[in-house]
Chains A and B, each alone.
Chain A
Amino acid sequence: MPIKRKSNDPSDPSFKPLMRSLALELCIYAPLVTVYFIVVLHYAKEPLVQLYQEGSTSYAFITLILILVQGVLLEVFTSWMLRRIGLR
């Protein structure tokens, strides 16, 4: 059986476009994730500390939501932006 070829060879024609796509995605995604973190830190720090001190169950759910938003929504937004500007 022949060996499966993957595009892990820099001379492979699909290697450069894939690398460029990843770099572009990171150029948008990384600043978004960082800005999101700074915004949450700036505006939500005090309310989160208060929620934690009150020991409410809403703190647990808000924790999970904040984590999921940072991870997924920003990634979805990045993909949407890439498609929108025609880079994907």
Chain B
Amino acid sequence: MEFPIAGVIVNPFLLAGTGFIVGILGGFLGVGGGFLAGPLMFWAGVPIDFVVGTDLAHMTGKSLVAARSHRALGHVDIRLAMLMVLGTVPGVEIGAQIIEALKPRGNTEQVVGIFYVIILTLIGSFTAWESMRTIRMKRTEHIDAQDAVERKGLLYQSRLFRIPPFVSLPVSGVGEVSVWAILFVGLLTGVLAGFLGVGGGFLRMPLMVYALGIPTHVAVGTDLFEIVISAGYGTLSHALKGNVDVLIALTMQTGAAIGAQIGVAATRYVSGPGIRLIFSFLPFLAAAMVLLRIAF
């Protein structure tokens, strides 16, 4: 099928199929899926300048569908999301400035790529280790999964930072947490997202769980809500620059919207540590894709 805006002929079933898979992942794990959809679009023949903008466009719709469904299940903490956005936005800008500073050296792609692989491997390894340990603890000590993180989690201790002002997050079941801790997590994920050129869902979700002590299901829903805001802004910005093919985005979203519904429903049948264990494979997959791109 011809997509005249991007000036390409692409199989629409391939695009819708990609959207469907990314939709399931997004709804279930709270990630935008740009690290997967972007390379697949590029591989399908979509010009690179259209890949990022169009990916953001379909991500906005898919994340909105998933976030709405998560909200109906009580899995979206809007207060937390809004506070995190305040940290994420300047963080993305800082990350982008670091890229600009690296550009004159001429090896930006290698530096970013290696950093990306290290970060992804660390996140994947830690999440896999922690979720397996929690599942084991649940079996042997008969404690709630969230309690397991709260009692034994390492990064969870950052919630004990007692720097005022404080905010309570009743949706997340967090009585009192420093606003600075939330802003710090937002800023950190923003810097990484801006530096690595990704939406940052697979960075934000585990950080919300481990650094702020947010339950996994709420972290997934809240992350999707934040993606709606950031990807929506990105879509407008890229569309104004002529980098969005709305027809490709709608084709992908046809699959993604259906996939997202299935993904959200699946979270009702899997426990928090189970979701984190499945999630831990994603960073490894993304790292492998980056390594392939650097190598070839």
Contact = CB atoms under 8 A, between A and B. Distances in A.
A14 B256 CA distance: 27
Interface of A: 1-4, 6-8, 15, 18, 22, 25-26, 29-30, 33-34, 37, 40-41, 45, 48-49, 52, 55, 57, 59-64, 66-68, 70-72, 74-75
A40 B250 CA distance: 9
Given A3-B144, A75-B68, A66 B250 contact: yes
Interface residues of B, number: 40
Interface string B1-40: 0001100000000000000000000000000000000000
Interface core residue of B145, B235, B247 (most chain A CB under 10 Å): B247
Contacts of A25: 261
A3 B172 CA distance: 18
Contacts of B250: 37, 40-41, 66-67, 70
Contacts of A34: 254
A63 B271 CA distance: 37
Interface core residue of A6, A15, A25, A33 (most chain B CB under 10 Å): A33
B235 A64 contact: yes
B147 A26 contact: no
Contacts, number: 117
A46 B182 CA distance: 46
A18 B268 contact: yes
Interface of B: 4-5, 57-58, 60-62, 64-65, 68-69, 138, 142-145, 147, 232, 235-236, 239-240, 242, 244, 246-247, 249-251, 253-254, 257-258, 261-262, 265, 268-271
B270 A48 contact: no
Contact of A70 (B69, B232, B257, B271): B257
A66 B257 CA distance: 13
Nearest to B238: A60
A67 B249 contact: yes
Given A18-B268, A71-B257, A59 B68 contact: no
The 3 closest A-B pairs by CB, nearest first: A60-B239, A8-B269, A71-B61
A40 B261 CA distance: 22
Interface core residue of B138, B244, B257 (most chain A CB under 10 Å): B257
A2 to B, nearest CB: 7
A68 B68 CA distance: 12
